Amino acid sequence: MTDSKYFTTTKKGEIFELKAELNSDKKEKKKEAVKKVIASMTVGKDVSALFPDVVNCMQTDNLELKKLVYLYLMNYAKSQPDMAIMAVNTFVKDCEDPNPLIRALAVRTMGCIRVDKITEYLCEPLRKCLKDEDPYVRKTAAVCVAKLHDINAQLVEDQGFLDTLKDLISDSNPMVVANAVAALSEIAESHPSSNLLDLNPQSINKLLTALNECTEWGQIFILDCLANYMPKDDREAQSICERVTPRLSHANSAVVLSAVKVLMKFMEMLSKDLDYYGTLLKKLAPPLVTLLSAEPELQYVALRNINLIVQKRPEILKHEMKVFFVKYNDPIYVKLEKLDIMIRLASQANIAQVLAELKEYATEVDVDFVRKAVRAIGRCAIKVEQSAERCVSTLLDLIQTKVNYVVQEAIVVIKDIFRKYPNKYESVIATLCENLDSLDEPEARAAMIWIVGEYAERIDNADELLESFLEGFHDESTQVQLQLLTAIVKLFLKKPTETQELVQQVLSLATQDSDNPDLRDRGYIYWRLLSTDPVAAKEVVLAEKPLISEETDLIEPTLLDELICYIGTLASVYHKPPSAFVEGSRGVVHKSLPPRTGSSESAESPDAAPSAGQAAEQPAVIPAQGDLLGDLLNLDLGPPVSGPPLAASSVQMGAVDLLGGGLDSLLRSDVGGSPAMGGSGFTAPGPAAPAAMGAPLGSGLGDLFDLTGGVGTLSGSYVAPKTVWLPAMKAKGLEISGTFSRQVGSICMDLVLTNKALQVMSDFAIQFNRNSFGLAPAAPLQVHAPLAPNQSVEISLPLNTVGSVMKMDPLNNLQVAVKNNIDVFYFSTLYPLHILFVEDGKMERQMFLATWKDIPNENEAQFQIKDCSLNADAVSSKLQGSNIFTIAKRNVEGQDMLYQSLKLTNGIWVLAELRIQPSNPSFTDLELSLKCRAPEVSQYVYQAYDAILKN
């Protein structure tokens, strides 16, 4: 007989041939023909055309042939129900056959034919078979009830088969018991409410007895059924445990695990103080360990389950670390699981051993595994604090190997270690930086960039490093782009003076040239944050980050408890509860562990602490400070204007220029509420003629500029006349007078330096002490030529508000140090607060109303502005020039009420109500009420009002 005989293609001719053979008189030939048909059917060929001919062969006393025909029937009956009826008589007859094998075969097959008409005929034979004298027939019939229930549940109930099935639980034959249990368990699942299984101490006792005599597979059914039982008290739980424990040494791993499952569940009810509890715990470890010497597939399943058990009850396997050490010939999926469990079991006691292993793994050949091993070292460092130092040095050793993927993986985990132990291991940064060039994977690049940004102040060439990444910005992955953006913003906030250009570049790359919404949005958030309030930006971006939690990859305790109930089901392999992957009709009953009785402990497992601080990839996010966020959202921004910032950054500008008109106005220029765009790039103090300035730019900017500039606020806010700040006698002949101005969003300190000494002065420099609003020079003091005796020079020093903040008294006090080639001189001056009023300080009406109500009355301050004879409109426009915006005007009883808002550079809003009485010329005092969440500024706001209105 050749093997290809069954496997020729079913051409039409062949079907005919088979037909002829099936109808042959010779039994042997018939059998061979049916075999051929089965062979064709098995490989998926359609031989349904032979249905009647095959069914004709059914009437035979050859059991082998009969089985084959039945197999054929099971397969095709559904597609040919009418023909299948032809077989019913034979089935019914076979159910009466003296040979139990044939009786069982008939019942088994009939249950598998899902044709209603046949099902009707099944009931009587099934009833008989359930009470058959032969256990083989009974066990088959028990399963058949489940089959019938699957087809027609109502029929099964009506016919009373369920009761018969229940009786079979007390059958003398353990295999019948096991099948009855299996069938009932399945039926019970579709009737969660019915008490089908009716487990009680008596029936449990019967099951436990059958357990000892059953085949291995039957034992599993019974054990799984036991796992659903809820013992009355801890004593009953213990007695069941005692009788289940011997199953732990069974050779069939499925039996072992089903037993483990029962024990794990019932252990919950035992008191931990009980001696028996400890004994039981000890007994659980060896069978779990033994599973690890089985076939790799079983090992894998075992490891997935052990992973859960270890998280729930680390004590069971805490001394078994060695069995989880990886063998070099394990399949990769087993290796990875073992690695995971090793980390979970790592503790101070065994960390040295674990680290030594991990280091060895990191030199293996399999790249995936090596990566995971390196990662594992990082997780050890985070988990076991005492080992962190050793882990870091191990990682450094690995970096020294220069093996590309090892280096990259090591850098990724070192980033995490930095986040767990900030300011502890920066000494390694230098080593990391050496490997910058070899990083080609996004995750490693992102990690490195994060490190550079985070420790920018300690890396001398941080700006160069980041700049080098910026060159290929658009070729980077999103992860790297986002990280680069954040890192450069951090760098800027830490070293503002040198990195202006860089931050501008990255902001424009992120917002204009990128299609990625995440990147763009983050870019805009930083941009606005920097432009509206650098101090807040600093607080936000450089905020202290929450430490990453010890085990971010720990399964959440509630989920873990649920999964423990599913030990030994697929859920334990996927590590997901069935609800997460089961589809369709099968009801998913949420399982939970039984409550512990007789135990003093209220809550179990303190080890399963909630995994707090799920640190996101990107640490720099806006903190949940309501007011700040509120302000951010209240910006009332129009759609982003994409023109000016790009144009501005492309204009050639010197450092001073950039600083002067540059950054602040640039940053501000996309704020839709402000018409002050286009002014960017100009340092000219005082009002500038827009048209004249527009022309030399020679770019599209001119047009834009014409459109938007030239009106309104370009005139700038009120500038007080210069006063002498530092008299010559105090400063060895240097006299400094000056004032403050605000031009299109940039603050300037306008200085006049006069040399009243007899020698030439040079090498000027200026520095501010920390002050209330973080005012700081945005550029060095530039005196281009040495200052000859009796000569004066006018300088406009651009300021920004990203310097260090310290509350001064009075609030607007500014201490300044000026140095020249002669000496260093100190003076202090008061700056008018209105230089800090930002251009987008106009609040929405509703917002104003809400905020006004929201601010408590005790924060309200009343002032009188004396001798001001201006009418309401004049007041309004005058104030608007200094960024105090009138939101509404009302006339009440002959008095004009102006409602105004302004915002300080640090995001503080001040709301004002100004009462003017134009009808009464003799009464020229204005009444000002200010409301602000920071009431201490009110006083200085009033001074600003007073100064502006009186000039």
Partner 1 sequence: MISQLFILSSKGDRLVYRNFRGDGGDDVTDAFYRAVTSLPGDQAPVFMAREGQHFVHVRHGGLYVGATTTADTSPFVLVEFLNRLVTLLREHCGTLSEKSVSVNVALVQELLGEMVDFGYVQTTATEVLRSATHGEPETTKAFSLLDLRSVGLFGAETQQSRVAPGSVTNRPVLPPRGEQGGRREVFVDVVERLTVVIAANGTPLKVDVQGEIRLKSFVPGACELRMGLTEELSVGTEEQCGYGRLPLAAVAFHSSVDLEEFEQERVLRVTPGPGEVTLMRYQLAEDVAVPLPFRLLPSVEWEPAGRLRIHLKLRCDLPPKNHAINVVLQLPLPREASSLAQELSSPEQTAELQGGGRSLRWAIPRCQGGAQLGAVFRVQLPPTPPLGLGPAALTFELPALTVSGLRLRWLRLSAPPGAPPGPPQRWVRHLTHSDSYVVRL
- Binding residues among 85-104 for partner 1 as defined by CB under 8 A: 101
Q: Is 915 in the site for partner 1 (CB under 8 A)?
A: no
Dihedral pair phi/psi, residue 687, rounded to 5°: -65, 140
Q: Is 116 in the site for partner 1 (CB under 8 A)?
A: no
**Facing residues of 754 across strands?**
735, 792
Q: How far is residue 684's CA from residue 657's CA, in Å, rounded to a whole number?
A: 9
- In angstroms, give the least distance from the CB of 661 to partner 1: 52
Q: Does 152 bind partner 1 (CB under 8 A)?
A: no
DSSP single-letter state for residue 658: I
Asked if residue 362 lies in contact with residue 373, where contact means CB atoms within 8 angstroms, the answer is: yes
Pick the closer one to partner 1 by CB: 306 or 748. 306
How far from each other are the two terminal CA atoms of the chain, in whole angstroms? 117
Nearer to partner 1, 77 or 391 (CB): 77
Nearer to partner 1, 206 or 250 (CB): 250
The residue among 141, 216, 145 whose CA lies nearest residue 174 is 216
Q: Does the protein bind partner 1 through residue 133 (CB under 8 A)? A: no
Which residue of 571, 677, 775, 778 would you call a contact of partner 1, by CB under 8 A?
A: 571
Q: What one-letter code names the amino acid at 404?
A: N
Cα–Cα distance for residue pair 883/897, rounded to 1 Å:
18
**Token pair of 107 as six digits:** 């019942």
Task: Quote the least distance from Cβ 360 to partner 1, whole Å.
Answer: 6
Residue 135 is a binding residue for partner 1 (CB under 8 A): no
Q: How far is the CB of 937 from partner 1 (least distance, A)?
A: 58
Q: Long-range contact list for 850-853, CB < 8 A, 24+ apart?
A: 851/909, 851/911, 851/931, 852/911, 852/931
Which of these ranges, 118-126, 578-586, 734-742, 846-854, lies near partner 1 under the rule CB under 8 A? 578-586
> Which one, of 204, 142, 202, 146, lies nearest residue 177 by Cα?
142
- Output 44 or 639, the one with its CB closest to partner 1: 44
Least CB distance from residue 42 to partner 1, whole Å? 5
Q: Considering the rule CB under 8 A, would residue 524 count as an interface residue with partner 1?
A: no
The distance of closest approach from Cβ of residue 128 to partner 1 in the complex, given in angstroms and rounded to an integer, is 18
Provide the CB-side half-sphere exposure for 664 (13 A, CA).
33
Q: Under the criterion CB under 8 A, does residue 282 sit at the interface with partner 1?
A: no
Binding pattern for the stretch 585-604 against partner 1, x by CB under 8 A and - elsewhere: -x------------------
Q: Could you tell me how many residues make up the chain?
A: 951
How far apart are CB 366 and partner 1 at their closest, in Å? Answer: 10
Q: Which of 140, 408, 674, 754 binds partner 1 (CB under 8 A)?
A: 140
Query: Minimum Å distance from CB 570 to partner 1?
Result: 5
Candidates 249, 516, 650, 871: give the one binding partner 1 (CB under 8 A).
249
Among the listed ranges 319-327, 425-433, 848-856, 926-934, the one in contact with partner 1 (CB under 8 A) is 319-327
Choose the stretch contacting partner 1; rule: CB under 8 A; options: 432-440, 471-479, 574-582, 695-703.
574-582
Q: Which of 182, 204, 485, 536 touches partner 1 (CB under 8 A)?
A: 182
C-alpha span between 662 and 745 (Å, rounded): 10
User: Least CB distance from residue 426 to partner 1, whole Å?
Assistant: 24
Q: In angstroms, give the least distance from the CB of 27 to partner 1.
A: 14
Q: How far is the CB of 407 from partner 1 (least distance, A)?
A: 12
Binding mask 324-363 for partner 1 (x = CB under 8 A): -x-xxxx-xx--xx----------------------x--x
Name every residue whose Cβ is closer than 8 Å to that of residue 403 and which is 6 or more positions away in sequence: none
Judged by CB under 8 A, the chain residues 17 through 76 that form the site for partner 1 are 35, 38-39, 42-44, 63-64, 67-68, 71, 75
CA distance 262 to 790: 99
Asked if 553 touches partner 1 (CB under 8 A), the answer is no
| Pair 485, 506: CB distance under 8 Å | yes
Under the binding rule (CB under 8 A), the answer on residue 286 touching partner 1 is: yes
188 in helix, strand or coil?
A: helix
Piece of 198-206, 321-329, 381-389, 457-465 that binds partner 1 (CB under 8 A): 321-329
153 binds partner 1 (CB under 8 A): no
* Start-end of H helices in 43-98: 51-56, 63-76, 81-85, 88-94
Among 6, 421, 524, 768, binds partner 1 (CB under 8 A): 6
Return the residue of 90, 119, 258, 717 that touches partner 1, per CB under 8 A: 258
Structure tokens at 760: 């030439």
The residues, any chain, with a CB within 8 Å of residue 361's CB and separated by 6 or more, are 326, 339, 369, 370, 373, 376
Place of tokens 């602000």: 932
Q: Which of 533, 495, 489 is nearest to 508 (CA)?
A: 489
Q: Per rule CB under 8 A, is residue 156 in the interface with partner 1?
A: no
Q: Is residue 139 within the footprint of partner 1 (CB under 8 A)?
A: yes
Tell me the window of 127-135, 562-570, 896-904, 939-947 that interacts with partner 1 (CB under 8 A): 562-570
Which 467-496 positions form the footprint of partner 1 (CB under 8 A)?
A: none
Residue 80 is a binding residue for partner 1 (CB under 8 A): no
Q: Where are the alpha helices (DSSP H) in 131-199?
A: 135-151, 153-158, 161-168, 174-190
Contact 500, 658 (CB under 8 A): yes
Compute the least distance from the CB of residue 199 to partner 1, in Å.
Answer: 18
The residue from 53, 54, 87, 111 that contacts partner 1 (CB under 8 A) is 111
Element housing 753 (H / E): strand 746-755
Residues pairing with 736 in the sheet: 726, 753
Cβ 298 vs Cβ 268: under 8 Å: no
251 contacts partner 1 (rule: CB under 8 A) = yes
Q: Which stretch binds partner 1 (CB under 8 A): 141-149, 688-696, 833-841, 844-852?
A: 141-149
516 sits near partner 1 (criterion: CB under 8 A):
no
CA distances from residue 235 to 35, 232, 270, 313, 603 in whole angstroms, order as listed:
58, 8, 8, 22, 21
For partner 1, which is the closer residue by CB, 187 or 865? 187
Q: How far is the CB of 441 from partner 1 (least distance, A)?
A: 15
User: Rounded distance, CA 187 to CA 150, Å?
Assistant: 8
Q: How far is CA 126 from the centre of its chain?
A: 56
368 binding partner 1? (CB under 8 A): yes
Long-range contacts of 883-888 (CB under 8 A, 24+ apart): 883/713, 883/717, 883/742, 883/834, 883/837, 883/838, 883/839, 883/841, 884/834, 884/837, 884/841, 884/912, 884/945, 884/948, 885/841, 885/842, 885/843, 887/842, 887/843, 887/844, 887/845, 887/848, 888/845, 888/848
Give yes or no for residue 207 binding partner 1 (CB under 8 A): no
Restricting to residues 827-886, name those near partner 1 by CB under 8 A.
none
Q: Closest Cα to residue 244, out of 229, 230, 261, 269?
A: 261
Does 419 bind partner 1 (CB under 8 A)? Our answer is no
Provide the minimum distance between the beta carbon of 118 and partner 1 in the complex, in angstroms, as a whole number. 13
| Closest distance to partner 1 from the beta carbon of 419 (Å) | 25
Answer yes or no: are the C-beta atoms of 170 and 134 closer than 8 Å.
no
Per CB under 8 A, the segment of 383-391, 535-543, 566-574, 768-776 that binds partner 1 is: 566-574
Please report whether residue 263 would count as binding partner 1 according to CB under 8 A: no
**Smallest distance, partner 1 to C-beta of residue 798, A:** 50
In this structure, how many other beta carbons lie within 10 angstroms of the beta carbon of residue 298? 16
Stretch 394-413 residues interacting with partner 1 (CB under 8 A): 400-403
Cβ proximity to partner 1: between 322 and 890 the closer is 322
Beta carbon of residue 618, minimum distance to partner 1 (angstroms, whole number): 25
The reply to whether 112 sits near partner 1 by the rule CB under 8 A is: yes
